[in-house]
Chain A
Amino acid sequence: MTHPTRSVDWPPARSQWLRYWSALPAEQAEALAANIAGQCTVKDLTLPQRGLGLLKLPDSALNDLYFLGEVPVSHAHVAVVTDDGRRSEGGARLLDDRQSLAWALAVLDATLAARLPHHEQALDLLRTGMAKVQETERERHALLAATRVDFSLLGDGSEDDNE
């Protein structure tokens, strides 16, 4: 089946990177980050953490703020320094309780932001992740498109036409 694919800017904005990378199995990002950490110095600028966050929404009736509940959150903020002294900061806040994944994505974020060594592999992962996100979007759109309905008012004659 072919689906219409919307054009997406390439490379995508930094605000989209986490979405795409986290669509992939965690091991892929973790393996690349470990590879980068083996060849560069990675410093934690804040202690990587995992815990929960309160999800705040405005209700759409009266616009009161309320908490729908809690979500798992992991957080990492790192600096990657190459052998020749280039330095880049990266960070990740994820709805995921795997601290190791947040740390890995923060390393990838720093690497790609400053085009440090291995940024091509980070870009490749981004491309694979984006394809995965687009596939998920297509599946969701299919749920909608296959069930689009036009409720005609009873008695307006339109239902009788097919009988």
Chain B
Amino acid sequence: MGYVAIKGGEKAIDGAADALEALRGGGQPSGPDPLSLDAIEHQLRLLTSRIMSEGGLYHPKLAALAIKQMQGDTLEAGFALRAYRSTRPRLLETPPQDTGQMRLIRRISSAFKDIPGGQMLGPTHDYALRLMRFELAEESPEPFRKMAAQFLQNAPTDTLPDSFPKVLDALRKEGLLPPKPAHRNPAFDITRDPLIFPVSRSAALATMARAETGSMLAIAYSNMRGYGDVHPTVAELRVGYLPVMLPHPVTGELTEAGEVLMTECEVIAMYEPDDTDTGKDAAPEFTLGYGACFGHNETKAISMAILDRALQKGMHDGPANASEDPEFVLMHIDGVDSMGFANHYKMPHYVTFQSDMDRLRATRSKHQERGQDQQEVSHESEL
């Protein structure tokens, strides 16, 4: 592949940017009001979540700005957030944070109906009919603003704990899962170090955590449909706010510096005695997959957990299908990478294509000559 510098077109490029802005304005002086970042952040909260996780930066306001600037293009919005983060200095690496301390707004299990602390559906479309609510098309501001207050007024006043025990910990206590091993390796920084295969699981988890939701879903779906055999059960799916603890500059004591909305999913897969590395005589135990991402994005967390389990199997036994192949999965799920590659085909390739045409002409000419030679040979042999 080749590129060539071109000149000219500056006026047209400026014009293209202006044209894009003109369409954002609605095309008429009496067009709609501009979107506020607050409206995007809250009314399109799932989209904002997606951009934060795919951009790899937890910044709801900037994610909302990226959505506004890119006019709803999720891939471009994620790209903008990544570009922004690349301009900022790296100040620190947090100590390992405990997701058991998440302040939950949703918590379900498809493995057990009774889980310690109980199941809470939280905000979800899961049980709603996918019918259009036409009344939203003409929504008036006053009832809209009262919705949250009304919900709180009618909500039960149960006293609830801030955090809940994890389902996996209960299974570990029963001995159905191996005990949690000690931290093994340092975390891999995918923003500074390239993926060189074979990669650590840490690198795989970080790559999937900022991957494009649709790409992850597509490959995980291939596993679910039969190109793989994870057969997952969701042990626990949690959505909530993780308090981030950093050392206080004076006392050194861990102090809450803020919180991050995240989704976390653990899946239980079929048991395999060999996967425990304790030998073939070991008692069979369930195997696990793990998924997590910034914001509220359950599809992504579940897809990641399935792919994590598939990749563990592929790393252990060798890949038997695409979703178990670390290189196939991890090199094809990044939205910025894949969108960039696809869209670069729109850019001028005049020299490359000219070269392709020259090669085709030369090949056709040789082909023609060879045809003529063969005709002459066959003509001579006939004589």
Residues of A within 8 A of B (CB): 1-4, 6, 14-19, 22, 46, 49-73, 75-77, 89-97, 106, 109-110, 113, 137-153
Contacts and interface: CB of A to CB of B under 8 A. Distances in A.
Interface of B: 52-53, 56-59, 85, 88-100, 103-107, 113, 118-124, 148, 151-160, 162, 166, 168, 180-191, 200-203, 205-206, 209-210, 240-241, 243-244, 246-251, 253-260, 262, 264, 266, 288-290, 292-294, 308
Contact of A64 (B89, B104, B202, B293): B202
Given A52-B88, A57-B292, A65-B202, A70 B56 contact: yes
Contact of A140 (B105, B166, B182, B205): B105
B90 A53 contact: yes
17 contacts: A1-B157, A3-B157, A14-B255, A52-B89, A61-B308, A62-B180, A63-B181, A65-B202, A67-B190, A67-B209, A69-B294, A72-B58, A143-B120, A144-B105, A147-B120, A148-B156, A149-B120
Contacts of A142: 151-152, 155-156
A57 B100 CA distance: 11
Given A14-B251, A147-B121, A67 B96 contact: no
Contacts of B93: 53-54, 56, 67
A149 B113 CA distance: 9
Question: What are the 10 A-B residue pairs with the smallest beta carbon separation, nearest first?
Answer: A91-B249, A95-B258, A142-B155, A61-B288, A51-B89, A61-B290, A147-B121, A66-B205, A65-B187, A51-B91
Contact of A57 (B97, B106, B203): B97
Contacts of B201: 62, 64, 66
A63 B180 contact: yes
Nearest to B179: A63
B257 A94 contact: yes
A68 B304 CA distance: 12
B59 A72 contact: yes
Given A56-B93, A142-B156, 19 more contacts: A14-B248, A59-B205, A60-B99, A60-B100, A60-B290, A65-B202, A67-B93, A67-B190, A69-B209, A73-B92, A75-B249, A93-B247, A97-B59, A97-B88, A143-B120, A144-B106, A145-B156, A147-B122, A147-B123
Contact of A61 (B156, B168, B206): B168
- Between A75, A140, A142, the greatest number of chain B beta carbons within 10 A of the residue's beta carbon is seen for A142
Contacts of A67: 93, 187-190, 202, 206, 209
Contacts of B119: 148-151
B288 A62 contact: yes
A60 B156 contact: no
Given A64-B183, A66-B202, A95-B258, A15 B56 contact: no
- Between A22, A149, A150, the greatest number of chain B beta carbons within 10 A of the residue's beta carbon is seen for A149
A56 B94 contact: yes
B253 A14 contact: yes
A93 B96 contact: no
B164 to A, nearest CB: 9
A19 B220 CA distance: 39
B153 A77 contact: no
B88 A91 contact: no
Nearest to A22: B258
B256 A18 contact: yes
A89 B88 contact: no
A99 B280 CA distance: 57
Nearest to B181: A63
A158 B256 CA distance: 45
A91 B150 CA distance: 40
Given A56-B94, A59-B205, A145-B158, A106 B260 contact: no
Contacts of B203: 66
A150 B113 contact: yes
A58 B96 contact: yes
B292 A15 contact: no
B210 A69 contact: yes
B166 A60 contact: yes
B205 to A, nearest CB: 4
Contacts of A65: 96, 183-187, 202
Given A63-B183, A66-B205, A53 B94 contact: yes
B102 to A, nearest CB: 11
